[in-house]
Structure 1
Amino acid sequence: MPVSDSPKTASTFTNDALGNDDATALAERIRSRDVSVTELIQAAIDRLHKAEPLVHSVVAERYEQMLKAAAKLDAEDSLADAPFFTGVPTFIKDNTDVAGMPTGQGSEAIPAGHPVKHTSPFAQQLLAQGFLCLGKSTMPEFGFNASTEPAHDAPSRNPWNLAYSTGASSGGSAALVASGAVPIAHANDGGGSIRIPAACCGLVGLKPSRGRVIDNDAAKSLPINIVSDGVVTRSVRDTANFIYQAERYYRNPKLPAVGKVEGAPEKRLRIGLVLDSINGHKTDEMTRNTVEATARKLEAQGHSIEPVATPVNSSFPDDFAMYWALLAFGMKLNGRKLAHPDFDKRRVDGLTQGLDRMFRRGFWKMPAVLWRLRRARFEYARAMTDFDAVLTPVLGHTTPRLGHLSPNVPFDTLFDRLTRYANFTPLANVTGTPAISVPMALTPENLPVSVQLMGKHGDERTLLQLAFALESEYSLW
């Protein structure tokens, strides 16, 4: 993103220790002692002080603690054998526990300021790579919305254009990375919450296959585990290296190894093309044109592109909506057990309230809904037999202005807007398959437009290779 003094944008890139480097370059510079960890952490803190008043994406910080951790790393004789990302600054999303910090899940229903005692399993896997966590990033309540606009607090703003949404539910992380404050940040995805903010903020966002990384406790308790954890980054290689390092900490024996991915695919691939959502809403012109242009780029690289129907039953949008409502009902009913002993269900926002009412009206449908959703992964697998990947939009239309998806919008209007917007991402969550968001254009309003590549279960490798190929054709950074 070009550096700008305009109040319409929020770019902190400057000639400091962080420079324009991605996380991989910073990790290499730290190991070679080209830069000290303290210099990097201090540069990140300085950038955060500049970015935060504009993007509002930090919900809790521990800057002084990380400066002390950085000093200890700098005192080490050698970092040659240290974890790959040692000393690289990051943030962890506010629905994931880190010992000594509060977990608020973007909700006023959870009392503020109560630090947790334990670090969640996935956060351990992430931090084992050597990252220094500077704090927790903002999110909408319980991750239910597609825009980071908590009802009780200021919205997180898109660094490319501050009048617009940063996406969700990992919107705070995406804004921090896109603004240049940190090079990489934690995200997780239960219906698009890695890919949507990545798309809005011009980042790379990979939702891994179900089981690729360690599940957090909340994911294990779901009737269908739709949640995957990962990161948002400014480069494909950062995402690829994150997955490679995560596998070195924990490798699921039920999945093929991703391994180290460093470039474009060497063989010709067969790629399906989907332009419109199964729910009947037409994709807007800018998004559609971007996907079609991307298809032409892939075709020019030697791959075969073939239009295909969305590989899922026509009831899928309604079924996913009911599952989404079930999660809201469960949180409102069991918040004291799931979130905090003093959880106050009277303080949940309008979206959570509306989803809860939706579930109560249609709860009797759930046995059939769950049966069909569980079958979706088999239907998807059959449809993918002859394809290596499928190219789709990430979203039904370009990034909306702040307020369009506010939880204060009347529920029926908000729900309709959400189904027109976040209509391509949920399929990968239900089927457990990997999917990646890659930026490929800019709108006249200076907002990124991204495409989605979906793959076969366990085949993140092909998606990362295709993402490398697209990055070689177009890059915002």
Structure 2
Amino acid sequence: MIGATATDIAAAVREGRTTAREVITAHLAHIHRVDPRYGAFRRVRAVEALAEADAVDQRPDRADLPLAGVPVAIKDHVDVAGEVRADGSLATSREPATEDHPLVARWRAAGAVVIGLTRVPELCIFPTSDDPEDIARSPWDPRYSAGGSSGGAAAAVSAGMVPLAHGSDGMGSIRIPAACCGLLGLKPGGGVTPHVDGEGWLGLSEHGVLATTVEDIALGLAVMAGQPVAPVRPRDRLRIAVSSRTPVVFAPPDAETVAGLHRVGRALALAGHSTFARHPRVPVSLQTLAGAYWVGAVAAELPANIDESALQPRTRTHVALGRAALRAGLVDEAQRDRWRERALSFFDDIDVLVAPVLARPPAKAEAWSTKPWWTNAQMSTRTAPYPNLWNLASFPALAVPAGVRADGAPASVQLVGPPGSEDLLLGTAAQLAEVLPWKRHPDEVITRTAARP
């Protein structure tokens, strides 16, 4: 049961080979065993999840539910009815939400069971996930951070605590944790998944999915997007550009990053695609724009009921910088539109871009929330200079495992495509899984004799 995919669990519950209660009971026991080491969850909903599982088992339409009995984790950044949305902060309201966010409602309607809320950095700003209570760590090596801001979600999936987790990605916040934890992580393009007012980071952020298989990503995304579940269909003879060129001159990729990228390029060529080196033309000014949006989006959408005096010092600095950027007009939509047009032209004769997610190993698992803003910002830029380009463009991007680095951390790349190419990226990842398969979980957290439903 532990380590089974969401696709397999749902099929077993639909067909009566197991029950949702048995699935949730097993996963709660596993969380109890391993989460003290990895810090994935801010809150485990043990009593509530068992009640939800019983409700799934009693549903007359159980045989038709795409996520029947699947335990899922929700990032502590959206509302879950009856739960406090803390956003990794002591400064947010402690009033429980009165209703589910639309994406949570869709997963529940499909038969999923919300087993817990995952750890995030304060207001989901930073690329590591420590809060006042704990640090989310990579199950591949707990000395490393699980990334951020969907770090708790990634740790939960990587350690087999859930097969499927929700994340959100405003500047790499799904892809960075996926890379840190050896997972698939999809940031859809703009408008694919639902939003509510005040959570879109000025159009940078999208809700997406973390999982260990392409099929699970496709399943979770389809339900979240309100679309029929369809099989993943690879395509023949794609034109695939491979680029390690960093958009930040002081954050070059290390040798292990380049080696992982080349492994993927060779594997895709082996799968029959045309692969070649080509680099997006990224203006130097785009990193200034990215920084302005990073700080400005938070300042523009700060919750009205927040106690700013209780924010962490790094966050107060971030908000102050954001307000200054907004006043100065540095959050420039016209400049962002010009980048979108340039990015679209890059894909005129290219189907998929393959690029790194991280330039180096993940950040160390430390209390980054206690460090100054500049220290956090410098770490963020040096570790993950690649992802924010595609948030600014609102293009879909999928993090995919690419083996293991010599230092023991997972290697990862991102597959990027133009708007509407989510299915194409998933199909490409499915072919990559055939020629360059990845280990779905670290050996130490999933026993080789784990029962399957």
Q: TM-score if structure 2 supplies the norm length?
A: 0.92
Question: Quick one: which of 231, 234, 249 aligns to 2:212?
Answer: 234
Q: Give yes or no for contact 1:174–1:198 (8 Å, CA) kept in 2.
A: yes
Give the drift of 1:445: 4.1
Query: CA 1:382 to 1:76, structure 2 compared with 1: closer, same or farther past 3 Å?
Result: closer
Match of 2:17? 34
Given candidates 134, 138, 146, the residue that maps to 2:115 is 134
Q: Tell me, yes or no, if the aligned pair for 1:271 and 1:304 is still in contact at 8 Å.
A: yes
By how many angstroms is 1:443 displaced? 2.5
Greater shift, 427-436 or 305-314, is seen at 305-314
**SS at 2:62's partner residue?**
coil
Partner of 1:291: 261
> Matched residues in 1 for 2:412 and 2:288: separation?
25
Give 1:366's match in structure 2, choosing from 313, 329, 353: 329
Q: Does 1:401 align with 2:364?
A: yes
- 1:129-151 Cα deviation digits (max 9, x unpaired): 2210012111001111001022x
Secondary structure of the residue aligned to 2:280 is coil
Amino acid at match of 1:458: G
Paired AA for residue 269 in structure 1? L
Percent identity for Structure 1 against Structure 2:
29
Q: Partner residue of 2:426?
A: 464
| 2-structure distance, mates of 1:204, 1:368 | 31
- Name the SS of the counterpart of 1:157 in structure 2: coil
What does residue 147 of structure 1 align with? 128
**1:307–1:119 distance in 2 versus 1, CA, 3 Å:** same
Give 1:362 shift.
4.3
In the alignment, is the contact (CA less than 8 A) between 2:2 and 2:161 conserved in 1?
no
Change (3 A) 1:422 1:80: same
User: Partner residue of 1:452?
Assistant: 414
- The CA deviation at 1:354 is 2.6
Question: Which 5+ residue runs of structure 1 have no aligned equivalent?
Answer: 1-17, 252-258
Within 5 A, what are the aligned runs for 1:95-244?
A: 95-112=77-94, 114-150=95-131, 152-219=132-199, 222=201, 224-244=202-222
**Alpha-carbon distance in structure 1 between the residues aligned to 2:24 and 2:174:** 25
Aligned residue in 2 for 1:310: 280
Q: CA deviation at 1:364?
A: 4.7
Q: Which one-letter code corresponds to 2:92 in the other structure?
A: I
Partner residue in 1 for 2:445: none
Of stretches 114-123 and 26-35 in structure 1, the one that deviates more from structure 2 is 114-123
Instruction: Tell me what 2:67 maps to.
Output: 85
Q: CA deviation at 1:360?
A: 4.7
* Post-superposition offset of 1:228: 0.8
- TM-score normalised according to structure 1 size: 0.87
Equivalent residue in structure 1 for 2:270, among 300, 309, 315: 300
- Distance in 2 between the 1:433 and 1:345 partners? 33
The equivalent position to 1:432 in structure 2, one of 376, 384, 394, is: 394
Change in CA separation of 1:446 and 1:229 when aligned onto 2, cut-off 3 Å: same
In the alignment of these two chains, the number of paired residues is: 438
Q: Which amino acid aligns with 1:324?
A: W
CA distance 1:384–1:78, shift in 2 (3 Å)? closer
Deviation at 1:111, TM superposition (A): 4.2
Aligned equivalents of 1:97 and 1:367: distance in 2? 31
Q: 1: distance between equivalents of 2:389 and 2:75?
A: 23
8 Å contact kept, 1:192–1:425: yes
Distance in structure 2 (CA, Å) of the matches to 1:349 and 1:310? 37
Indicate if the aligned counterparts of 1:263 and 1:469 stay in contact, CA closer than 8 A: no
Name the residue aligned to 2:244: 275
The one-letter amino acid paired with 1:326 is G
Structure-2 change in CA distance of 1:367 and 1:199 (3 Å): closer
Range 65-74 or range 272-281, more displaced: 65-74
Give the Cα–Cα distance (whole angstroms) in 2 for the partners of residues 51 and 154 of structure 1.
14
Match of 1:264 in 2: 234
Unaligned runs of 5+ in 2: 441-453
Q: Would the aligned equivalents of 2:149 and 2:173 in 1 still touch at CA under 8 Å?
A: yes
Displacement of 1:194: 0.9
What is the letter of the counterpart of residue 359 of structure 1? G
Give, in whole Å, the separation in 2 of the partners of 1:116 and 1:244.
25
CA contact (8 A) 1:261 1:464 kept: no
RMSD, matched Cα: 2.0
Q: Write the distance in 2 (CA, Å) between the matches of 1:71 and 1:369.
A: 50
1:356 Cα deviation from its structure 2 partner:
2.7
What is the CA–CA distance in structure 1 between the aligned matches of 2:190 and 2:60, rounded to whole Å? Answer: 39
